[in-house]
Amino acid sequence: MRAASEELSRKELLLNSFKLGKIDKDLFGPTPPSAFVGRFGYPEVLAGPLVSPAGEEVSLSDTPDKWLYLSREEIIGFRSNLVRSNFKLNVKDARDPGRLLKETQELAMAALPVDVEVKFLKPPRRAIQFDGILTPMGPSGTVTDIEIVENPQVPKKVDALADDRDIKATEAAILLYEASISPYQISRLLSVGTLGKKRLIVPTRWSITATDSMLGENLLKRVRNYPENADVQLFVSEAYGNHFEILFVPRAYAFGWTEMWISQKGKVEIGDLYEDAMNKPAYMDGGYYAARFSALEFLERVRRQASIYVMREVKPTYDIPLGSWVIRELVKDAFSRQPLIFGSVTDALKSVRTRINVPPNTLFLKKHLLQTRLMQFD
């Protein structure tokens, strides 16, 4: 638990976290590696690597799968040290990349930090932005030149798939995942246009959700063939004002997602989506697919299928969103502990409601968990 840091106000937190001093026009230093593609102006977008001033430790700065036990100050701290360089390009430029894009693609493929030299048009100003899907983003500036100054270490599988122009991007992503490349790196590779037949630059926000959705879909193909989970199980996790209750019910695979955002004034905003054999979610929601991916990873590991219901309560203390990794990693984290076992769905829901306030008529409750099937009455 990180109670101490959660008591800090937003302003104090930002003051404590922010370390970067004045930034020069010419920046030399490591990239974790990391690259960002914006979505504004699509298909003409801004893209480029994220680079820290020399001497900074960046090996953790772009690996959210290792962040869960860090404080918010630490996370915001090392993210605010990364300076985003921007150059404009068309998303189709991935088919015939110019020099700046080539350098960006090459560093994005690396497994370890790489030293880079970037020249900005003007010295970037100190700033930081937060988002529900994206990780916190530091200062940015228009770049005139990017040069990698050391040989990046690229995993063999990444190198091979970046060279392969006959394979679809989805298939390439699945092969990378099966070769134990982290989904965070896969999403980065997809974003900078290094995968697939018809290469495209993909805004980072979309590539994160696309990766969750694609890899999840691939896991689901196998999960659908596994036997049903034995019990009604409830997994719980909480960090950064995000509380998760994850219910597994022994039935055919279906996935439900309800999030409850509680404002400072106590108002609750609700997000409510589900999928099953016949229905897809009504819209593409980043949090939904992040949670679904982690839940499917778990089912694949235990070789079971189930109807899964992820309930997320966002407390007013989560006033600075950190990105969708919080969802992906907290759902994963819940599975690292023993679940509570219940005799029925209604008993499990009673337990959930002692901790968070889930509405009685959410889509997944109506369509699945509280709707019986005729074959139950044989």
H or E segment to which residue 38 belongs: none
Verify binding: residue 371, another protein, rule CB under 8 A: yes
CB of 178 vs another protein, minimal distance in Å: 32
Residue 138 neighbours by CB under 8 Å, 6+ apart = 20, 50, 79, 80, 81, 82, 83, 84, 127, 128
Restricting to residues 232-291, name those near another protein by CB under 8 A.
276-278
H or E segment to which residue 300 belongs: helix 286-302
Verify binding: residue 225, another protein, rule CB under 8 A: no
Cα–Cα dist 109/357, whole Å: 44
Verify binding: residue 11, another protein, rule CB under 8 A: no
Nearer to another protein, 60 or 363 (CB): 363
- CB-based contact 368:254 (threshold 8 Å): yes
Applying CB under 8 A, the site for another protein has a residue count of 20
Q: Give how far Cα 120 sits from Cα of 11, 193, 254, 344, Å.
A: 29, 23, 49, 61
H or E segment to which residue 243 belongs: strand 242-249
Nearer to another protein, 1 or 277 (CB): 277
Nearer to another protein, 35 or 352 (CB): 352
Restricting to residues 333-352, name those near another protein by CB under 8 A.
345-346, 349-350
Verify binding: residue 375, another protein, rule CB under 8 A: yes
Residue 185 neighbours by CB under 8 Å, 6+ apart = 111, 158, 176
Residues across the chain: 378
Nearer to another protein, 50 or 358 (CB): 358
CB of 278 vs another protein, minimal distance in Å: 5
Verify binding: residue 373, another protein, rule CB under 8 A: yes
Instruction: Give the binding range for another protein (CB under 8 A) out of 159-167, 284-292, 301-309, 364-372.
Output: 364-372
Give the binding site for another protein (CB under 8 A). Answer: 276-278, 345-346, 349-350, 360-361, 366, 369-378
